[in-house]
Structures are given as structure tokens and as C-alpha cells.
Amino acid sequence: MATTDTPHKNVLFIVIDQLRADCVHGALADHVNLPNLQALMAESVVFKNNYSVTNPCGPSRVSLLTARYAMNHRSIRNGTPLAHDTPNLATEAAKAGYDPMLFGYTDTSQDPRAYPEGHPALTTYEHPMNGFREVCEMRLEESHGWRADLRAKGYDIEGEDLFDIFRVDTPDGQPPRPNDPALYKAEDSDTAYLTNQFLEGMKDKVDQPWFAHLTWIRPHPPFNAPAPYNDMYDPASLPLPERLSQEEEKNFHPYMKPLHNYATIASTVEGFPDLDSSDGSVQTLRAVYLGLATEVDHHLGRVVSWLKDSGQYENTLLVVTADHGELLGDRHAWGKLAPFKGAFHTPLIIRAPGTKSREISHFTESSDITPTILDWIGTDIPASMDGRSLVPWLQGETPEWRDFAYSEFDFGNPIDPTPWQKEYGLNQSNANCAILREERFTLVHFADGFEPMLFDSEGKGELENVAAKPELTGEMLRLTQKLLSHRMKNTDHLLSTIMITKDGPVNTTRPRG
């Protein structure tokens, strides 16, 4: 267990929705102003090769909070239930005496076995995860408090479409543009509202240990930002997405054609159903995305200032990450349902009291975050959790560590067939893939229907599939065996470390490696 000399231990776990890692260290970092994140990074341990273990939103947050791979928790799409008795960050923190507070959302689909028929919890994928006390509801498709706040301030948000609230406010006499400002002011945005609610809800939590999970929706689509964030960045100044020509992308791999039909550029913004995919449109939405990231950064600064001003900065574990990335035009695609780096590579910044800043290049996974928090507060890590504690890294050590990152995702749907199912006749059981990322090679293995992808960072990286090159047959075999071994070693450990004996159950420790 980890120990500190702080008078009491607070935990603030922040998740920024859909923030790419290269916004804080990478190709986009030089083009976006994130002063508060950068200042935090300067005094934190920064894990530069952190990857989400699954996508999209609901599954990724389940893995974040349960520390389980999707192959084990199987809440594999928005709307797929999570078993109600799954140990998670909140349930385990409660065992250590905390009252885990939620400001925002976890996107957890509830287990119908635990609720009576007709219960409201069974009508939304955005329900809070078991164990959290929802202090401020801020769900993308609900957000009742924020909407009431806007109505009280005189905003016209009574459109028939739920997402009409994210329409642009175009000046009179002008043709509408995707980067026109939102209909609400920056001080009234969803990000501002949630931050206000957090600061108000926490103002009396100074003299007692507390545990809070704060989750901002932005820069998740719809890409619609209030002034001045809507046109803060010049689209022409931004680097173009990583991509081949549209024709080359269509022929790159069978997965690509349905991907381009699954989430179009028009699906990322409200009110522009016929938005073209020209470079001008692409760069405009990339600029709005960066503006939304800067807005979040501003409010992160408010939170950090509160921690410092209230004298709690030096006894609070502060963790900042994202649930997953965003393709943002990479490969002429949008969203996150693809095996490429932009969809999975996420920032991970951890500031623990008494630790020195450093950068870690070893691979870490989103499933490592919950074990790290539990280790730091001094409570047991359940055998069900697949991730490993990062506390040794926080303490300045260099532990024996994995040399790869593992991810997976499903792209099927049991009641509404996806473009991949329609195109290739797949079903919900074989429409999935697993990804093994090493320093040089990345293997993408599909359950059925597709040949694998193999990327070589010493070549063209993700822009070339080298799986069929004869000289790499040995690497394909090695990586496939490594992937299989990893899955075999990490199959469900919920109860497998317990033995029933004549003297009763005997618990053993799960080996993690």
C-alpha cells in the first residue's frame, strides 16, 4: 500500500471527454493554448504513452472505473449493461471511508437483473455507476440542471431536437458557418456550469478527506463552442489530419469503407447535415475542437486555483486523463471507433503530494488508473481488476513493466446492425478486434471477416498495412502469440483467486504483469 505524510488524503479524478494526447504532447500541442494543463504537467508525473483499453464512451469509462478489460466486463457499447456487482473505483473507495462524489457522468448502462421492469435507470446508457453519489448531473443527452439554468437566464432552448441546444448563433443577415458561436455565452456553457457546480459543492469539503470524480463533456461533439472559443484558432494555421487520399483510404482495408459511413463530418456538428468533407470544413471543425479544449483548460485552472487557495493542493491526488481520443479527420474519419492512434492515445497526468515531476515513456493503460488511486489511498485492489498501480512511478521508481499496450473494441450492435455488419454479414460476437501496441509494431487482429493490420513505426506507421509482407511473417506470428498470451493471462479473475476449503474460502493475490 502507498503511504504519504499528508494530514488527510483527498482524491480528485478528472476525465476530459475525447481529448487526444497530441493536444498536450504531439502534433497539435504547438497549435492549441492549454496553459493550465501545461502548468500542471510541469509539476506532475506525465505518462506519454497512455492508451484507452476500449472505446467508445460508455465502455471506456467502465474500463477506467473498474480497471477491467472489455473482454472481462463486456459492457462493450453504449447501452450494454455492466454487471451490477462489479467492483469499481467508487465501491472500493467507499470501503476506505470515502463518499465518492460524481460531478458529471459515467455513462454506465445498468444491469436489468438489479432493477424492476420499467425502472428509469433501464432507459438510459448515461446512468451513474454504482457506488457514486451523483452531486451534479451533467449528461450529454440530459443535463437537466444546465438546461434549467439556461432557461432561467432567458435562452431559447425549447427546440424539438434535444441537440438543438448546440446549434450555432449566426449573426443576422449572414449565412450560417460551423464555427459561428454557440447560442450561449462562455460563462453559461456546459463546461462553465459543471465547474461552478463543482466549486459550489466542494466549498465546505476542506476539513475532511474527500473523493470527487469530475467529468467534463468537452471537447466531445457536437463541435459547437461559445465565443471566443469558437474562432480562437485559425483553421488555415493547423496541420492537416494524418491520412491518405480518399481513394487510397477506401482500398486500405475492408474496415475502412464502413468507417467512413459510420461517423461523417456532418455528424459532429448540429445544423449542417450537408457539410462537405473539404479541407476547409475539416480544418474549421478541428479549430473548434481545439477551442473547446482551451475552454476546458480555463476551467481546469479554476479548479486548481481552488485547491491551492483552500490549502488542499498539497494533500490531494490529482489525476487528469481522457476516456478516449478522437480521429478528428485522421483517415478521413471522425469519432473513435477505429484502431488508430488518434482514437486511443490519451493524456495521463498525475500529481501526487510529495512527488517530483517526470515523464514516463513506458506504455500505460486506462485500466491502470483505478488501481493507482486505490493504492494511493491505501486500500486493496480487487483481483477482478486487470490494471496495475502506477504508484511506484509516482514515487520515483522504475518498476519492471509491460512493453506494450492492449486495447480492444466492438463494432457490432445486436438490435441495430452497424455498417460493418450490413456490409460483411458480421454479428455482435464477431464484429470486434484486439490491438497490441509495441514501440515499433502495432498489430490489429479481427475476430472474423478481416485480415489483420500491422503497422511499422520505422516505416510509414499507420499509413501502411504491412501484415502481408513476407519478411514480417515472423513478427506477425510473435505478435499474435503475444496477444493471445496476454488475453489468456487476463481472463476474468473476479473469483478465480479464491479457493473454497474445508476451513472456508481462502483468498490469494492475483499476479499482475
Q: Give the 3-state secondary structure of 33-92.
A: CCHHHHHHHCCCEEEEEEECCECCHHHHHHHHHHCCCHHHHCCCCCCCCCCCCCCCHHHH
- Model confidence over 436-462: pLDDT tens digits? 999 999 999 999 879 999 999 999 999
Residue with cell string 494555421: 237
Residues paired with residue 212 on neighbouring β-strands, in sequence order: 12, 101
Task: Quickly state the pLDDT bin for 7 (edges 50, 70, 90).
Answer: low
Task: Quickly state the pLDDT bin for 163 (edges 50, 70, 90).
Answer: confident
CA–CA distances in Å: residue 348 to residues 3, 36, 255, 323, 359: 22, 14, 29, 10, 10
Q: Over 70: is that where the pLDDT of 356 sits?
A: yes
Q: Please tell me the predicted confidence (pLDDT) of residue 3.
A: 45
Task: Quickly state the pLDDT bin for 310 (edges 50, 70, 90).
Answer: very high
Q: Is the separation of the CB atoms in 45 and 372 below 8 Å?
A: no
Q: Please tell me the predicted confidence (pLDDT) of residue 465.
A: 98
Give me the chain's average pLDDT, please: 96
Q: Over 50: is that where the pLDDT of 4 sits?
A: no
Nearest to 125 by CA among 56, 208, 222, 200: 56
Distance, C-alpha 480 to centroid of its chain: 26
Q: Which helix (H) or strand (E) holds 12?
A: strand 10-16
Task: Quickly state the pLDDT bin for 160 (edges 50, 70, 90).
Answer: low
- Model confidence over 26-48: pLDDT tens digits? 999 999 999 999 999 999 999 99
Q: Is the separation of the CB atoms in 217 and 311 below 8 Å?
A: no
Cell of 8: 488527510
Nearest to 358 by CA among 382, 381, 383, 390: 390
Q: What fold is seen in the domain 10-399?
A: Alkaline Phosphatase, subunit A (3.40.720)
Tell me what the mean pLDDT of segment 324-344 comes to.
Answer: 98
Residue numbers annotated as active site:
57
Strand intervals (E) in 344-440 = 345-346, 348-351, 358-365, 405-410, 432-437
